[in-house]
Amino acid sequence: MSTKKSTNNLELLRHSTAHVLAAAVLEMFPEAKFGIGPAIENGFYYDFELPRTLIPEDLPLLEEKMKEIIKANYPFEKQEISIKNAREHFEKLGQKYKVELIADLEAKGEKNVSVYKSDSFVDLCSGPHIDSTGEINPEAFALTKISGAYWKSDEKREQLQRIYGVVFAQKKELKEYKIGQEEAIKRDHRKLGKELDLFCFSDLVGPGLPLFTPKGTIIIDELKKAVESICRKYGFEKVSAPSLAKIELFEISGHAKKFGDELFHVTSEKKHDFVLKPVQCPHHTQIYASKTRSYRDLPIRYMESDKQYRAEKTGEVGGLSRVYAITVEDGHSFCRVDQVKDEVVNMVKIIKDFYSALGLWGNHRVCLSVRDYDHPEKYIGDQKDWDTCEKMLQEVSDEMNLSAEKQEGEAALYGPKLDFMFKDATGREIQIPTVQLDFATAKKFKLYYINEKGEKISPVMVHRAILGSYERFMVLLIEHFAGAFPLWLSPVQVTIIPVSEKFSQYAKEVENKLLEKNIRVETNDKGESLGKRISETEKQKVPYILVVGEREMNEKSVNVRTRAVKEQQTLSVYEFIEKVEKEIVEKS
């Protein structure tokens, strides 16, 4: 294999920088024990067992040492040695983790391993690397973070210390990365969630169980209303199922096996033995099954926004990204094979309407996941139905200009699907909406409809998610808008600020007029100076601030300050209400 590489190959550069970090750590802590140090997005990490806990001040010191190693331009020298020699070498150094890795390689049948040497530092590694440390741009890397990590990601094993770094080819890219990070910190949903008072956690309630405040709940309710009103236009009907079910329900659907130890079990002294629902689909099948359905009744479409529970590992503290209780907006259509195309078209229209309203449509790509044609036996369902439905999905993509990228082998076991990936304001790609065909679930539950000839036929189940879970969607919204939500979603749409107490009465009058029109309004007349009250309200990112004083009271008008717009405008109360109502309805 050729070993000629260039720094254009960022992955080599990133991984090689991990070696340089390890060498610097060894200088600082001669007793350090090394775990692994792979390249990751934008950089690398390396895991160490160290005699003391690292502090943030260690990072610049290590960076300095790394710069010296880079400047010395040590070559990365590769050596193939026998497993036996490698073991002896690392045992002598007391590098127990490397010894364990060597044993793992031996168990896989390897006879030789490769080690890489740069100056005095030798690391077990399959490579490849850059030619020498001097290829790293000393101005284009940075150590970013320290965290804990279990050896081999196993909670029962040793806890190591992980150092993260970023590496780019050019100094300019590092600078851009740092600016992006600062922006991400400013937009962090945990920080903004607290500042804007949207959700909280309680030790008494438990971790991973977010509590939505009145303001956060307004956003969730508005989203719900928006999704449901679009879906209703396309024939979805709301249903409601309990949070619990007998485990048999999920054994039949396959979710008991799929979620395994992530299921929450609920028992009682009265011999109840339930699980909290990890998904809603199985409950919906039982509403379908409650009556005999004819081919003329289909499609039958149900939707529900309800809490689902999964004992997922919660990696993040105080955030909504991974929680035990998620409110999932789920919808299912039970239909005939010949109806699948129209169903999918409608679901894509729903997705388009909803994301357009948020200004996100256009900033996305679509994936069409189909079978692995070399192994059709891996999938559940009739091959003929798969052929028909994959073709239909392709037609939907063509006719609706989705330009879906076809991904062979990415279909679910039970059917093909369309996934939508959106880019948020920080450039992150998030997959939320999905339309999935399912040939299996109806069969598992023995669902059927009676066709024209009086035969029992299994319907196709089409699952669709528009916004996924409200919790994760909140993360996207908060970070995308940096808390400055569109008017229709803003918990407080208008704040009225009287210039002094003298005008509180007039402020109240205006407030009542807005309330009559269901506009979410607050008055801020609490003692503080006018300037302070205005800046407080601006920090809360309220879309409209109405300042009222002598002139406004006499004219029955309001002085309108629009969020992020410098100029102010004086409108009559009537004109202002008309303008706001229009903007809310149009979701502009």
Residues that bind Zn ion (CB under 5 A): 125, 281, 463
CB of 463 to Zn ion, least distance (A): 3
Identify which of residues 463 and 541 has a Cβ nearer to Zn ion in the complex: 463
Cα separation of 144 and 43, whole Å? Answer: 10
- Residue 26 corresponds to which tokens in the numbers above? 């060894």
Identify which of residues 19 and 189 has a Cβ nearer to Zn ion in the complex: 19
CB of 143 to Zn ion, least distance (A): 18
Identify which of residues 125 and 360 has a Cβ nearer to Zn ion in the complex: 125
- The residue with its CB nearest to Zn ion is 125
- Residue 471 corresponds to which tokens in the numbers above? 């919790």
Across the strands, what pairs with 429?
Answer: 423
CB of 133 to Zn ion, least distance (A): 12
- Beta strands across the sheet bearing 77-82: 77-82, 112-118, 121-124
Find the radius of gyration of the CA atoms of the chain. 30
CB of 20 to Zn ion, least distance (A): 10
Identify which of residues 280 and 397 has a Cβ nearer to Zn ion in the complex: 280
Cα separation of 562 and 588, whole Å? Answer: 14
Identify which of residues 223 and 440 has a Cβ nearer to Zn ion in the complex: 440
Q: The tokens 């350090």 sit on which residue?
A: 32
Cα separation of 126 and 78, whole Å? Answer: 9
CB of 116 to Zn ion, least distance (A): 5
Identify which of residues 303 and 521 has a Cβ nearer to Zn ion in the complex: 303
The β-bridge relationship of strands 494-498 and 544-548 is parallel
Identify which of residues 74 and 201 has a Cβ nearer to Zn ion in the complex: 74
CB of 344 to Zn ion, least distance (A): 15
CB of 458 to Zn ion, least distance (A): 16
Angle at 227 (CA atoms; ends 224, 233), nearest 5 degrees: 135
Give, rounded to a whole angstrom, the gap between the first and last alpha carbons of the chain: 58
Q: Virtual CA dihedral for 100, 105, 107, 108, nearest 10 degrees?
A: 150
CB of 15 to Zn ion, least distance (A): 5
Cα separation of 332 and 235, whole Å? Answer: 11
Identify which of residues 465 and 496 has a Cβ nearer to Zn ion in the complex: 465
The candidate with the shortest Cα–Cα distance to 560, out of 503, 495, 514, is 495
CB atoms within 10 A of CB 241: 16
